[in-house]
Amino acid sequence: MALGLVLLALSITRPADTPAAATGDPQPGEPLFRRYCAVCHGPGGGGNGPNASSLEEDQPRDLTDGRYVGRLSNEHLYRVIAEGGQAVQGSRFMPPWGRTLSPSQIWDLVAYIRALSAGSPGSAGSAPGPSVGAALARELGCPACHRIADLDPVRVGPDLSAEGSRVQRAWVVRFLKAPHTIRPVGYHPLSRSRMPDLRLSDAEAADLAELLLTRRGGVAEGWPESAQGASLVQNGRDLFRQYACRACHSRDGAGGQAGPDLSAVASRLKPAWVMRFIQDPQAVDPLAPMPHLGVGDEAARAITHFLFGGSPPQPDGLPDATAASRGFALYKALGCPGCHGGDRDEVTGGIGPDLSQAGDKLRPEWLSEFLMRPTTIRPWLTARMPGFRLTEAEARALGELLAELKDRGAARPPERLRFPGSISETNVEAGRRLASREFLSCASCHVGEERPEGAQDEWAPDLRISARRLNPDWIVRWLQDPQRLAPGTKMPSFFSDDTSGPEDILDGDEERQILALRDYILSLGRAEPREGGHAAVPAK
């Protein structure tokens, strides 16, 4: 919302159609500002939002400038927000929000802008926010699959209940195979959320696409016909300029970054859905940040023809019911409802590992690396950790958040059980014997060079990555009592009492046997042995 581009008059008389001045509340005004205004004006109102660089002719006004905003009446601010820039002979890049927001919401925005210009955004109800890592975890939807401290699951993805009326089959398959950014960072209500890479096969992507095509939401489809013929495309091009669509949308390399790039509309979306969305965005998606511009039927039809180049896309045909059924099972198994809704209660809470004590278990450096480039830890599961295309800073922030999640009630292990910083070759050899089929037979369950025995749901993670992945002291606690750390785990308790361990290894001393297993596990990913019969545990 390029509000500051059009606040040109220092004082005005209230027009007849402007509601009488009311006392707005800055507290509800803040989330409205973040949703509709921050993309141009910036989250702090300084005129530096992500879309600002695209508005070369007129940069968004700095709304923290008290000398400027202080000269404007509340009625003027209201009219600019409600009617847009052209209503006050200002910038056409400022859209009207009067059909999208209620009068009371607009007055709340006015009150919040007053608080910004007074240098007191805190009075607008701003509270200290959560840590960067916690905020990012929420916005990426991590709590939908994982238990993470007190973070509650929230839907962060678009509603897919009518996706079949919106997108084309071929595009969906390509996108599921190789997700890419459609909505820019800062786009509300999704903020920093992004579609992750689920590492789907061609068949899996096709099945999921068929599922989405069945979800039409009762929306009519088809090509919006018109008697105007070829001239409709030119009319649509003119209307695209008239409504200043390029202030928010890029097309063919030019335009704003506030909304999705419209260059690929013809290969991605369905024309009937596009026309309906242009006419009334909130009727299609109540959370849509695009303003209701009051575009009529014929104008919306013309803009749609312009975006599609005057030619309808190839029809998708009816979805394959069998493939859609397979897609629905995969949709649930991958945890998609956690972000997108639909049968959510059936899947959340058990898709991913419990991370409430991740800081005890996992090495921070491995966490950051894994978050940037996820790999398969449990290959027998249909669910998989997706790739979110995180930056190094984002991965580090999430890693720091998870590293703080620890069992605060756990006593620190006694000195004799703490990891000394290097592993003992004597322990490694003893641990190798303990892990062999003659004794504990770890390879019967743990994935490794040989296929584990039994059903896949009885398998366990590959121990060869443990040196990079697990904290040594956590390994000791795990071997001592797996059920305490993960109630219900299938990992057996080999050392439940003082007489559990084999008598012919390390004199039957259970504590020494546990330390031997720890060193053996760490040796599977170690560096070359150093002099003195020890090897350093690799940090990565």
pLDDT at position 219: 66
Indicate the pLDDT class of residue 17, thresholds 50, 70 and 90: low
> Which of 319-333, 334-348, 387-401 has the weakest average pLDDT?
334-348
* pLDDT above 80: residue 22: no
pLDDT at position 14: 43
Pick the CATH number of 133-153+352-403 from 1.10.240.10, 3.90.1200.10, 1.10.760.10, 3.20.20.80: 1.10.760.10
Distance CA 314, CA 267 (A): 9
What percentage of the chain carries pLDDT values higher than 70?
84
Q: What's the mean pLDDT in 11-40?
A: 72
> Which of 213-227, 337-351, 458-472, 479-493 has the weakest average pLDDT?
337-351
Name the CA dihedral angle for 303, 308, 311, 314, rounded to a multiple of 10 degrees. -130
Same fold, 133-153+352-403 and 415-536: no
pLDDT at position 486: 87
Indicate the pLDDT class of residue 193, thresholds 50, 70 and 90: low
Q: What's the mean pLDDT in 309-319?
A: 80
According to DSSP, residue 251 is labeled: E
Q: What's the mean pLDDT in 329-347?
A: 66
Q: Which of 18, 4, 10, 8 is nearest to 93 (CA)?
A: 4
506 alpha carbon, distance to own chain's centre: 50
Domain 3-124: give its CATH code.
1.10.760.10
Distance CA 23, CA 104 (A): 9
Phi and psi at residue 503, in whole multiples of 5°?
-75, -25
* pLDDT above 70: residue 330: yes
Domain 415-536: give its CATH code.
2.60.40.420
- 268: tokens are 């991605």
- 444: tokens are 């019967």
- 364: tokens are 């921070």
C-beta separation of 15 from 79 below 8 A? yes
Which fold, 231-307?
Cytochrome Bc1 Complex; Chain D, domain 2 (1.10.760)
* pLDDT above 50: residue 348: no
214 alpha carbon, distance to own chain's centre: 25
What percentage of the chain carries pLDDT values higher than 90?
34
> Which of 159-168, 203-212, 350-359, 467-476 has the weakest average pLDDT?
350-359
pLDDT in tens, 86-115: 777 777 788 899 999 999 999 999 999 999
* pLDDT above 80: residue 63: yes
Indicate the pLDDT class of residue 413, thresholds 50, 70 and 90: confident
Distance CA 503, CA 431 (A): 14
Indicate the pLDDT class of residue 295, thresholds 50, 70 and 90: very high
Q: What's the mean pLDDT in 48-62?
A: 81
Distance CA 366, CA 399 (A): 9
Distance CA 524, CA 418 (A): 19
pLDDT at position 20: 56
pLDDT at position 511: 93
Which among 45-49, 83-87, 469-473 has the top mean pLDDT?
469-473
Domain boundary assignment for the chain = 3-124, 133-153+352-403, 163-217+317-346, 231-307, 415-536
* pLDDT above 70: residue 124: no
According to DSSP, residue 73 is labeled: -
Q: Where are the beta strands (DSSP E) in 164-278?
A: 250-251, 254-255
* pLDDT above 50: residue 10: no
